[in-house]
Structure 1
C-alpha cells in the first residue's frame, strides 16, 4: 500500500512538472508588427514589376506615391500607389495604369491594379528610376 502511494505521488509530481514546463514554453512565434514602415518600398516594387509586367523595358511616365496607411480587409496597412505606362507582349504601350501595393511587416505583400478610388487622392511624384531602369539583357531603347 505504501508503495502504491509513493507511485501515485511520483506520477502526480511528474504530471505537475510537465504542466509547469509546458506553461513556460511558447510554441508560437511572436507576430511581426504588421505596420512597420516599408523603408525599401521602391526596390521591392521595382523587383515585383520586373517579374509581373509583360515587357518591363522602356517604361514611360513612372510615378509613385509615398507610403500611406489605408484600410485593407478591415486592417490598417501601408500602401503605395504606382502609375506607369508599360508595354504588352507585342511591345505596344498600353496606356497609364495605376497599381496599388500593400505592405505587411514592412515588405510588399500584394501588387494589384488599383480601382478608381484607391489611388485617386494620393500625391504622385515622378519616379525616374522606374523609367530609366533596364531589365533587358540585350539593353533598352
Structure 2
C-alpha cells in the first residue's frame, strides 16, 4: 500500500501551484561566455603525461590552435591533436586524432572521436609532445 502512495507524494512535491518556480532535470541557464585557454599547451602536456601509458617516444605530434565549436548545443573552445604513441611492444599505430575540450579556459576533457569537431582545422607541429619524458 505504501508503494502506491509514493508516486502521488512525489508528484505533489514537483507540481506546486506557484508558476514562478520551474522544475527540470537539466540546467536551463544561459551558457556563460567562454574564456580563451591561455595555457592550453602546458595543460595539454601535463594531461598527456598521465593519459598515455608511455609518454616517451610520441611521433607525428601536431596540434591546432583552440577555436570555438558547438559541442552539444554549447559553444566551447576546442583544440585538435594528432599523434602516434609508442605501443608496449615498441611499434607505432596510425596517428590518433583527438579533440581537446576546454571549459572556462581550462582543459576539461579529451574527446577520442574527434570527427566533425576537428574538420577543417589547420594542424601545426607540436614538438613538445614528442619530447615528453616520464
Is TM more than 0.5 here? yes
Separation (CA, whole Å) in 2 of partners of 1:48 and 1:76:
22
Alpha carbons of structure 1 residues 114 and 99: separation in structure 2 relative to 1, 3 Å: same
If the length of structure 1 is used for normalisation, what is the TM-score?
A: 0.68
Q: Deviations over 1:57-114 (max 9, x none)?
A: 1000110000100011210000100000102333321220001110111000011213
Q: Deviations over 1:16-65 (max 9, x none)?
A: xxxxxxxxxxxxxxxxx551100010111111111111211100011000
Aligned pairs for 1:1-141 within 5 A: 35-135=34-134
Aligned length in residues:
104
List, as ranges, runs of 4+ consecutive aligned residues in structure 1 with deviation greater than 2 Å: 88-92, 114-118
Higher strand share: 1
Q: Confirm or deny: 8 A CA contact 2:84 2:95 kept in the other structure.
A: yes
Separation (CA, whole Å) in 2 of partners of 1:126 and 1:61:
8
Separation (CA, whole Å) in 2 of partners of 1:78 and 1:116:
15
Worse-superposed segment, 84-93 or 39-48: 84-93
Structure of higher CA gyration radius: 1
- 3-state DSSP of counterpart to 1:38: coil
If the length of structure 2 is used for normalisation, what is the TM-score?
A: 0.71
**Which structure 1 residue ranges, 5 or more long, are not aligned?**
1-32, 136-141
Root-mean-square deviation (CA), in Å?
Answer: 1.7
- 3-state DSSP of counterpart to 2:95: strand
**Which structure 2 residue ranges, 5 or more long, are not aligned?**
1-31
